[in-house]
Amino acid sequence: MICESLRLQEAVEAVRPHRDICPNTGFLQQLRSLDKSLERERRRRRGVPGQETDTPSLAELRQMIWSDRKPTAPFNLVWPSLYIGDESVARDKPTLSRLGITHIVNAAAGRHRINTGEHFYSDMEVTYFGVEAADHPEFNLAPYFRPSAEFIDGALNKTGKVFVHCAMGVSRSGALVLSYLMICQTLSLVEAIIAVRLSRDIGPNSGFLEQLRQLDVTLNAPHST
């Protein structure tokens, strides 16, 4: 659906001649929502007007994020050539090389957090981008949304592979990937959450969620003339 631009029904029809698959009802609902979001994105790119939905409240977003939680793996592919993971993978150079990672976003950079930086990857062909963010609801992550989104977008446009991480690969890194999908892939916040949660349970803290919510409102606001 994402990479081959198929509708959900088309994707099912493509797979079933080779294997009978049966996603559970929760997964099917998430796939239906992804199908709608991708179609809305295609409409935007074609300039076809569509009905816009209001940005959900913070309480609704928290319910969406924290319902049906599952354990997180060290890393997951959440969008074509875009990974989210934890500190252990960020320090595991053989795994990064095996994945073909060319760009790294450290959402927990800094001397008292995950102090890797360009020097840590000097023996690898990796481009590094650090964000010194604290995983605290009062930390203002919003100023980093667009710079990190542009870094990720530039890497992917050059056929690179991007690994975005924080300590656990849940809050800070999740928020930055959501902002990338909203800014560069024109997904709404809800659409971005659904797209990522198909592969990984992320959980930006309430402060980051509110900042993402404000970004969603701004991106969906009519352009001033």
In DSSP terms, which residues pair with 225 in a beta bridge? none
* pLDDT tens for the chain, residues 1 to 225: 888 888 888 888 889 889 888 888 678 778 878 888 888 777 777 766 554 457 889 999 998 898 888 889 999 999 999 999 999 999 999 999 999 999 999 999 998 999 999 999 999 999 999 999 999 999 999 999 999 999 999 999 999 999 999 999 999 999 999 999 999 999 999 999 999 999 999 999 999 999 999 999 999 876 533
Is 166 marked active-site? yes
Q: Which of 3, 22, 166, 184 is catalytic?
A: 166
Reduce the DSSP state of residue 150 to 3 states and report it. helix
Global pTM value = 0.82
Q: Are 155 and 80 in contact (CB under 8 A)?
A: no
Cβ neighbourhood burial of 204 (10 Å; 0-12, 13-18, 19+): buried
Look at phi and psi of residue 155 and say left if phi exceeds 0, alpha if psi is from -120 to 50, else beta.
alpha
Q: Indicate the length of the chain as a whole number.
A: 225
